Amino acid sequence: MMKRILIAMLALCMVLLLPACGEQVTFNAAADLPEGTETLVITTAGQSSGAYYVKAQADGQSYTFRLAEDFTAQAYEPGVVGAIYTLDYNSPADFYSQWYQLAKEYDALGTVFAFSFAGDELASLTDTTGFSPPDGPPMQGASLPEGVEYVEEFELQSDPGDNMSAEGAAKALFSALVYLHDDFYAPGDAVTITLTGLDTVDDEDAYLYTIKTPGGESKHAVNYAGNVYVLLDGEYMIIY
């Protein structure tokens, strides 16, 4: 009788412990990569026995690397066409629970990263893919919905001629942001688009704007051709 009880207890322990073990993963070392490898294509992220890891491809070969405890990553927002947002991840758990889960949801895996190691653990990943401004409907002639106000704090000294007007560019800017980001504007939101100046962006004359929404403030530029930019870290980046 006692023997049966012990066997039953052992079986129960094995059942309880088995899920905690997780997938058994064999980790590669940094030296396993071919000499001169500059980028890794990340296809999977996971957790095994408390360790976070990524599966990566380089030169046609597959590798699995453990993530360092002080792991950091920077990647464009997964699943967003024409994404301009680079998101920072400051731990392995953060990268797994946020970037990987989003990338998996939006079928955006296979991202190319520059990388660095700390010993045989990946210490950082940096998305190298950039973004491509999306194609979309013409922006000229768009109207601003009720609640969206256009204001000119900067006084223009000349007529744009055949080029896009400052107000037309403001409408183009608003339309582009609505097209790019579903959560940028909801009907009824109080939005102010303010013309703040005129400057050269990418070697072309461009109107400068500040946009205030219930969600915050952002700075943009629109050149005479209708290209739309956002100011990030002191530099204008094209988004449309």
pLDDT tens sequence across 77-134: 786 655 556 778 999 999 999 899 988 988 888 889 999 999 999 999 999 887 655 5
Q: Structure pTM?
A: 0.52
Q: Which of 133, 95, 97 is nearest to 113 (CA)?
A: 95
Which 8-state DSSP code applies to residue 2?
H
In the chain, where the domains are located:
23-127, 148-154+163-238
pLDDT tens sequence across 3-55: 444 444 444 444 444 444 445 789 999 999 999 999 999 999 999 888 999 99
3-state secondary structure 63-112: EEEEEEEEEEEEEECCCCCCCCCEEEECCHHHHHHHHHHHHHHCCCCCEE
Residue 28 buriedness (CB in 10 A; 0-12 / 13-18 / 19+): middle
* Buried/exposed code over 167-204 (b: 16+ C-beta within 10 A; e: otherwise): ebbbbbbbbbbebbbeebbeeeeebebbbbebeebeee
Q: How far apart are CA 111 and CA 125, in angstroms?
A: 10
The alpha-helical segments, DSSP class H, found in the chain are: 2-21, 92-94, 101-105, 166-180
102 Cβ contact partners less than 8 Å away, ≥ 6 residues apart: 77, 78, 79, 108
Length of the chain: 240
pLDDT tens sequence across 165-212: 899 899 888 888 887 777 788 878 899 999 999 999 989 999 999 999
Q: How far apart are CA 178 and CA 145, in angstroms?
A: 11
